[in-house]
Amino acid sequence: MEGKTPGFDIGAGQIPGELHLAAGQEAAAVGVCHHLRDYDTVTAPHRLHHIAIAKGVDLNRMTAEIFGRETGLCSGKGGHMHIFDMDVGFAASEIMTEGCPPAVGAALTAKKRNEDNVAVAYIGEGALDQGAFLESLNFASVHDLPVVFVVEDNDWAISMPKDRITAPRDGSKRADGFDMTGDRVDHDDVVAVYEAAGEAVGRARDGNGPTLLEVQVHRRMCHFMGDPQTYRSKGDQTAHRKRDSIERLAEDLRAFDIGDEELEALRDRGPRSCQGGDRVGPKNNRSPSRRLLTRTCSPTHPRE
């Protein structure tokens, strides 16, 4: 057990379960979602909070959900891995690539209704080998659907490096086999992602079919909070911390004469838009046994 015994029990504390933080992956979320509208659909996997924020999910209610509150987006039943905010078209599933078929379905709906909605399915690079993803690529391609598959390549699938489990090295090459446009952004520069995603989302919105876009990002943290990362060299961990896309963006902005004060003001705006854990709403007041068996099926919507 040496070196493999972290200081905490992931089932204890205020935010239990496997919490997957996304520090280092912001560019992939912001660069893509900036092109999306509220009615566009996004599906996300286990590492989802950066994407949720970029898609405009209600931050206070997401925070409440993370704390398991009744006021949370999913009444405390979903938790931090299974966030749903249908007001902005956001849904998540932790079973790898199982968000891809639903994204294809959202795109199919848009096509059938002749609407310009776009769907985006996010996956990690470790999911490039999963059936639901590959089947979805083919379905989207053969039906020319307005969907963009975004692969966040952070080099690691828990302890497994990309080259140990996936061929080819460049995941966007998967597109070739499905007669679909593929593109890869080799560094997590939010501006470069924004440009590549602009083309992909534009292609979908204009009815010109799907795109597979892979974006190099970085996993600054462990896989989930509590993962001791014994498989990962210290050098790799610190290298990833140094390649921060936010710092990169700050440098770019400085080159446009944006001063430190302005940058600070920008940074401040983020935290202020969310009230934080203690203020996200009342503590649960109904007993768990009362809440547990509610909303197990849909409220009925009579057909008009």
Partner 1 sequence: MAVPADLDRTMTMSGAMVEVIATEMRADEEMFYMGEDVADCDGIFDSTEGLREEFGRDRIMDVPISETAYIGAAVSAAQEGMRPIAELMFVDFFGVSMDQIYNQMAKNTYMSGASVSVPMVLTAAVGGTYNDAAQHSQALYGTFAHLPGMKVVVPSTAYDAKGLMHNAIRDDDPVVYLFHKRLMGIGWLPAPDGPKTGVPEESYTIPFGSADVKREGADVTVVTLGLHVHRALEAAEDGVDVEVIDLRSLVPFDEETVLESVRKTGKLVVVDEDYRSFGVTGEVISRIVENGLGDLDSVERVAVPDVPIPYSRPMENEIVPDSDDIIDSIHNTNS
Interface residues toward ligand TPP, by CB under 6 A: 46-47, 94-96, 124-127, 154, 156-158, 219, 223
Q: How far is the CB of 276 from ligand TPP (least distance, A)?
A: 25
155 binds partner 1 (CB under 8 A): no
Helix (H), strand (E), coil (C) string for 207-246 = CCCCEEEEEECCCCCCCCCCCCCCCCCHHHHHHHHHCCHH
Report d(CA 220, CA 247) in Å as an integer: 13
11 binds partner 1 (CB under 8 A): yes
Spatial contact of 17 and 80, defined as CB atoms under 8 Å apart: yes
Backbone φ and ψ for 151, nearest 5 degrees, come out as: -100, 120
Contacts of 117 (CB under 8 A, 6+ apart): 37, 39, 40, 41, 106, 107, 109, 110, 146
124 binds Mg ion (CB under 5 A): yes
Contacts of 65 (CB under 8 A, 6+ apart): 72, 73, 74, 76, 78, 79, 80, 83
Spatial contact of 143 and 111, defined as CB atoms under 8 Å apart: yes
Site string for partner 1, 40-79 (x = CB under 8 A): ----------------------------xx----x-xxxx
174 binds partner 1 (CB under 8 A): no
47 binds, among partner 1, Mg ion, ligand TPP, none (CB under 5 to 8 A by kind): ligand TPP
22 vs 53 by CB, closer to Mg ion: 22
173 binds partner 1 (CB under 8 A): no
Q: How far is the CB of 127 from Mg ion (least distance, A)?
A: 8
# binding residues, Mg ion (CB under 5 A): 6
Q: Closest residue to Mg ion, Cβ-based?
A: 124
Q: How far is the CB of 126 from Mg ion (least distance, A)?
A: 5
67 vs 156 by CB, closer to ligand TPP: 156
Which residues, listed in sequence order, are joined to residue 119 by a DSSP beta bridge?
41, 147
* CA quadruple 161, 165, 169, 170: dihedral sign: negative
Report d(CA 224, CA 207) in Å as an integer: 38
Report d(CA 4, CA 6) in Å as an integer: 6
230 binds partner 1 (CB under 8 A): yes
Residue selected from 63, 136, 154, 211 as contacting Mg ion according to rule CB under 5 A: 154
For 85, which DSSP code? Answer: B
How many Å separate Cα 274 from the centre of its chain?
19
Considering only the stretches 225-233, 239-247, 248-256, 266-274, report the one whose residues sit in contact with partner 1 under the rule CB under 8 A: 225-233
Which structure tokens are listed for 57? 């999910």
Footprint on this chain of Mg ion (rule: CB under 5 A): 124-126, 154, 156-157
- Residues in contact with partner 1 by CB under 8 A are 1, 4-6, 8-11, 16-18, 68-69, 74, 76-82, 93-96, 98, 126-127, 129-132, 157-160, 164-166, 226-228, 230-231, 284, 288-289, 291-293, 296
